[in-house]
Structure 1
Amino acid sequence: MEGMTGALVALGGDRAAHDTYMQLAGSGLRVPAPALSSALSESTTLKAVLLLYVQTLYIQTSYTALVNARSKLDERLARWLLMCHDRVRTDRLAITHEFISVMLGVRRPGVTVAIQELEGRGLIRATRGEIVIRDRDGLFQLADGTYSEPEREYERLLGKTD
């Protein structure tokens, strides 16, 4: 399991509070809230795993808020690219500057400048609608401590995602 939405249902609510969309191409499953609630009431194992996931989501969300408040844009972009790279397991990310600006909560021109900076350092290669990771270790260094704490917690609580 990589993740889920509808954490409020796992916590006992009757519906998700937000819409969900996928950031990058991939696959997913959709389970109606009543069916998930029923499955959770029937399986203590499922409930335990989903509650551990909710804990990791809380950690990631709070850490993201901290990073967004304290880190420079290039560091935040490096962290976000590392997180995407973890999930798609390919060096090619089909992503636009506009979408990255939404995800990082900044104006698109700022993203363009930050991408150019990362590209100038040889960390990525950017073309229209695609970013290729060229130097993951370099991105990690640039992220300057903003990446890995939530990832370690995820692994500690739920195991590796491979």
Structure 2
Amino acid sequence: MTGALVVLGGDRAAHDTYMQVGGSGIRMPAGALSMALSESNTLKALLLLYVQTLFIQASYTALVNARSKLEERLARWLLMCQDRVRDDRFSITHEFIAVMLGVRRPGVTVAIQELEGMGLIKARRGEIVIRNRYGLFQIADGTYSEPEQEYERLLGTIA
């Protein structure tokens, strides 16, 4: 979900939004979301909890990006991507991963080759297949799970 600033009372988002991995979604104007929030305390409460988890995720990402090695960050990002895609296979390029991690593409290629060499993933042109989620979790070395646990605590699991 985007539009956290609207949930917090603003009249528009401060930035553009784009999808990292193709899928489906629902789009609505900021004014319609504001109206729905004013008419439903239940919706407002739920989306405020979501915004709380979003801030936790963003702050944790900043911490991880400042302190962790590229392989750890990549493993974490792949786990998060798998959580959202809900599949072991997703279309993604090295260039896009580099943008998401704020690093150079050649570094991503080396890190992907390392994870692939450990049997954790299978990389093909424009595609990553997760082969060993637990192994990625181990490589992430504590950088993955705290925000995810907080999301589950506040919002529950999504089937």
Both structures adopt the same fold (TM-score exceeding 0.5): yes
Residue 87 of structure 1: how far off its partner (Å)? 1.0
* 1:79 aligned to which of 73, 76, 79: 76
- Whichever residue aligns with residue 148 of structure 1, its letter is S
- RMSD across aligned positions (CA): 0.5
Give the paired residue count: 159
> Structure 2 regions of 5+ residues with no counterpart?
none
User: Is 2:11 the counterpart of 1:19?
Assistant: no
What is the distance in 2 between the residues matched to 1:124 and 1:158? 30
Runs of 4+ in 1 over 4 A off after TM superposition: none
Residue 161 of structure 1: how far off its partner (Å)? 1.5
Alignment map for 1:11-160 (pairs within 5 Å): 11-160=8-157
Q: TM-score, normalised by structure 2?
A: 0.99
- Helix, strand or coil at the partner of 1:54: helix
Q: TM-score, normalised by structure 1?
A: 0.97
Residue 56 of structure 1: how far off its partner (Å)? 0.1
What is the distance in 1 between the residues matched to 2:77 and 2:39? 37
Aligned-residue identity in percent: 83
Cα offsets for 1:28-52 (capped at 9, x unmatched): 1101000000000000000000000
User: Is 2:5 the counterpart of 1:8?
Assistant: yes
Cα offsets for 1:68-121 (capped at 9, x unmatched): 000000000000000011111111110000000000000000000000000011
> Structure 1 regions of 5+ residues with no counterpart?
none
